[in-house]
Amino acid sequence: MARKIRVLIAKPGLDGHDRGAKVVARALRDAGMEVIYTGLHQSPEMIVQTAMQEDVDAIGLSSLSGAHDVLFPRVMELVHKNKMKVLVTAGGIIPEEDVPTLKKCGIAAVFGPGTPIEDIVKFHKERLKAKH
């Protein structure tokens, strides 16, 4: 039997807004995935290290402080450097015009405020189907 999809929900930087991250974590877990939540105040290095240790299939990055433009690309740099095969998505307060830059560095999707949770669940299931 295929193992469950494993997802790391991560809060990079100093941002303490964890409502969205926790709701997404709960929803993915209720959808049958294994979810690891990093807790707050993680550096990009800490996030990538946890992702490797936990052997996750996906990382969800959440930031509402505006630090996404610096911290998310840093996470992606480390993901590429470590040749990780991992689906990375993002959520939070992210202006539309920042989305192309984030996608260019390898973030698969950006889920803004108001995204139905079901869409996030479906996205992970579809994109990770081949592996499971």
Partner 1 sequence: MALSLKKKGRGNPSRATRRNATRTKKAAATEIVETADRKAGYKNQSWMDTDTVYLPNAEFAYDDKLGLPGEYPFTRGIHSNMYLGRLWTMRQFAGFGSASETNERFKYLLSHGETGLSVAFDYPTLYGYDTDDPHSEGEYGKCGVAVSSMEDMTALFNGIPLDRVSTSMTINGPASIIWAMYLGAAESRGFHKSMLRGTIQNDVLKEYIAQKSFIFPPAPSMRLVIDTFEYGMRNVPRWNTISISGYHIREAGSTAVQELAFTLADGFEYVRQGMERGMDPNLFVPQLSFFFNAHNDFFEEIAKYRAARRIWAREMKETFGLTNERALKLRFHTQTAGCTLTAEQPENNIVRVTMQAMAAVLGGTQSLHTNSLDEALALPTEKAVRTALRTQQVIAYESGIPNVVDPLGGSYYLEWLTDEMEERAYRIFDEIALYGGVIGAIEKGYFQKAITESAYRYQKDVDRRERIIVGVNEFTTDEPLDIPILRLDPKGRDKQIARLRKLRRTRDRAKYDAALDRLRKTAEGESNTMPAILDAVKANATLGEVTGVLREVFGEYREQRII
Q: Give yes or no for residue 89 binding partner 1 (CB under 8 A).
A: no
Q: What span, in angstroms and rounded, lies between the C-alpha atoms of 35 and 99?
A: 25
Q: Give yes or no for residue 125 binding partner 1 (CB under 8 A).
A: no
User: Which of 31, 40, 84, 128 touches partner 1 (CB under 8 A)?
Assistant: 40
Question: Residue 29 is encoded by which pair of tokens?
Answer: 């877990």
For 59, list phi and psi in degrees, rounded to 5. Answer: -125, 130
Cβ at position 75, least distance to partner 1 in Å = 11
Cα-Cα-Cα-Cα dihedral sign, residues 58, 29, 35, 6: negative
User: Which of 31, 84, 105, 117 touches partner 1 (CB under 8 A)?
Assistant: 117
Return the range that interacts with partner 1 (CB under 8 A); candidates 29-37, 83-91, 101-109, 123-131.
Answer: 29-37
> 54-83: which residues touch partner 1 (CB under 8 A)?
65-67, 69-71, 74
Q: Contact, 108 vs 89, CB < 8 A? A: yes
Q: Give yes or no for residue 50 binding partner 1 (CB under 8 A).
A: no
Contacts of 73 (CB under 8 A, 6+ apart): 101, 102, 105
* Closest residue by Cα to residue 5 from 25, 35, 48, 50: 35
Residue ranges binding partner 1 (CB under 8 A): 9, 13-19, 22-23, 25-27, 29, 35, 37-40, 43, 65-67, 69-71, 74, 93, 95-97, 112-114, 116-118
